[in-house]
Amino acid sequence: MQVALVLYPHFTMLDIVGPFQVLGDNPECQIRFVASSPGQIADHTGHTGLVASSLEEVPRPDVVVVPGGFHDTQLDRDVVRWLRDVHETTTWTTSVCTGSIYLAAAGILSGLDATTHWARKDRLEQLGARYVPERVVERGKIITAAGVSSGIDMGLVLVERLFGRDYAELVQLAIEYDPQPPFDAGSPTKARKDIVDFARVLMADTLSDDAVADVVAETKGAH
Amino acid sequence: MQVALVLYPHFTMLDIVGPFQVLGDNPECQIRFVASSPGQIADHTGHTGLVASSLEEVPRPDVVVVPGGFHDTQLDRDVVRWLRDVHETTTWTTSVCTGSIYLAAAGILSGLDATTHWARKDRLEQLGARYVPERVVERGKIITAAGVSSGIDMGLVLVERLFGRDYAELVQLAIEYDPQPPFDAGSPTKARKDIVDFARVLMADTLSDDAVADVVAETKGAH
């Protein structure tokens, strides 16, 4: 079973490392990090990154996970095109955080329920999906997850679908996923209003509308 | 403020990426990944890794985070020696999962309350700490956390100490840390007994007693 973990410049580390950590120890999973330019891909902070192979090396993955990113001004059009192609034959196509913006740009979420980071729901809807404010949204073979840390929850749901409930609980125990956040501020319905407002400004969508429209049109035409 | 994120061969990605993700966007944090051999350090799965600078480049970090690892047969003695040295001047010395075994081997936890991955508490106690089955244990300037995913909780506690409660809540909201695990099997007190027993076998301590004793004696002598 080939698992493609997609990277692009300015991806967010925890978005992809959450699902990676719940899948990565299973010997049935052939893990492949992929990106449009092979080599070291810098994360959104610029402090670190991960090494990827090229998208072309993984033309028929069984499972795809697309992480979110931050500070992006445009979408990686090779990734969008590749997603559009490989989705036809995947068993599971999944995303964390604004990774769902990539799925939507590839036309995969048209008319479907999906989720994303709470601060980016407008972009998701602009691209044709129906935003659902849930942590993990499973529709057919597509699973989308909310912001950043939700990739751990999504990963466990995915592992259950792939390997069964007992194995998923074993993984949860192995990573001691018994979360005890020190505060109760992890969603816009729970955080203090002034903190939500400030976060919304800090995390404002930096994608250019024109650039997004271009990628959608071009990758659709190329298909 | 210099934040040293320590790597060594077979470290576990999520252990270090959890704290990294809550600290990494703060412009006051100068993030440095360090290891005894600079370059790409492979994680415990062998599927990925992170790039580190040398320990010598970061001789006086303000904050230290040591992640856990898996499949290790010995401790990295350069890391143990460096921890013993830098701890004298840190503001905060912290660990996730079996990262506390490193702190203990460096003599930092002697007689102190601390935690680690639930399956490794015997090793922690053998090295002189008092195991406490809590998710995050703060004693003076030392914070230890339980297994793998607990680094997110620990990271938020650390961020509150460094930058205050409002900022910590902002970070929690930004990473949408409102966990909803699909199962309730994340600790040995909650998981099914046969799954706990199986996990205990899978995660058996692979460190050699002799190798650990050697490192403790040598790094103590060198100090």
Among left, alpha and beta (phi > 0; psi -120 to 50; other), residue A109 is: alpha
User: What is the rounded average pLDDT of the residues B208-220?
Assistant: 88
pLDDT at A223 over 60: no
Predicted confidence at residue A220, as pLDDT, reads 79
Query: Which residue type sits at B85?
Result: D
Selection from B186, B112, B191 nearest residue B147 by Cα: B186
pLDDT at B221 over 80: no
Q: Is 0.85 exceeded by the ipTM?
A: yes
**pTM attached to this predicted model:** 0.97
What is the pLDDT confidence band of residue B142, given thresholds at 50, 70 and 90? very high
Residues of chain A with Cβ-Cβ distance to B150 below 8 Å are 176, 178, 180
Q: Going from the N-terminus, what domains does chain B have, and what CATH number goes with each? A: 2-222 (3.40.50.880)
Number of H helices, E strands in chain B: 8, 10
Is some CB atom of chain A closer than 8 A to the CB atom of B42?
no
Selection from A126, A132, A121, A129 nearest residue A68 by Cα: A121
Q: Who among A180, A186, A195 is closest to B176 (CB)?
A: A186
Question: Per the CB < 8 Å rule, is B180 touching A24?
Answer: no
Q: Who among B40, B118, B173 is closest to A185 (CB)?
A: B173
Q: What is the pLDDT of residues A18-70, one digit of tens each?
A: 999 999 999 999 999 999 999 999 999 999 999 999 999 999 999 999 999 99
Question: Per the CB < 8 Å rule, is B173 touching A196?
Answer: yes
Helix or strand or coil: residue B142?
strand
Task: Find the closest chain A residue to B136 by CA distance.
Answer: A180
Q: What is the pLDDT of residues B82-127, one digit of tens each?
A: 999 999 999 999 999 999 999 999 999 999 999 999 999 999 999 9
Predicted confidence at residue B73, as pLDDT, reads 85
Contacts of A48 (CB under 8 A, 6+ apart): A13, A42, B20, B24, B31, B33, B50, B51
pLDDT at B71 over 90: no
Mean pLDDT over each residue of chain A, to the nearest integer: 96
Does the active-site annotation cover A97? yes
Predicted confidence at residue A222, as pLDDT, reads 59
Q: Can you spell out the DSSP letters for B144-156?
A: EE-STTHHHHHHH
Predicted confidence at residue A73, as pLDDT, reads 85
Binding-face residues of A in 199-218 toward B, CB within 8 A: 199, 202-203
Predicted confidence at residue B165, as pLDDT, reads 98
